Amino acid sequence: MLTIVDDHGNMSNMKEKIVQASTFKAKCLALLDEVEATHGTIIVTKRGRPVAKLVPVSAPQPTMGSVTLLVSDDADYLSTDEAWDAVR
């Protein structure tokens, strides 16, 4: 969906909006909050030309369980087979 923003910067709740750079500058933090809340997209224009696209960041993927250990003993991971200065 695409919405053209009127001269007063009024916008409706759509998935994609077009905002002039001057409006984006004045309302940047509110527009960031809106993108986060609605998961919509904002196209920023200068002199009627699209120059940037503000999109929501997808949630990071969970890393729990994504690592496979190759040895069964933790000592194999921690040992360098060399004596440390504190041990000498």
Domain ranges of the chain: 3-54
The C-alpha atoms of residue 62 and residue 8 are separated, in whole angstroms, by 42
Residue partners of 18: CB distance under 8 A and separation at least 6:
2, 3, 4, 5, 42, 43, 45, 50
pLDDT in tens, the chain (88 residues): 444 454 445 544 457 899 999 999 999 999 999 999 999 999 999 999 999 999 998 878 888 877 777 767 766 666 677 777 776 6
User: Could you tell me the pTM of the whole model?
Assistant: 0.54
> What pLDDT was estimated at residue 63?
82
Q: What is the CATH number of domain 3-54?
A: 3.40.1620.10
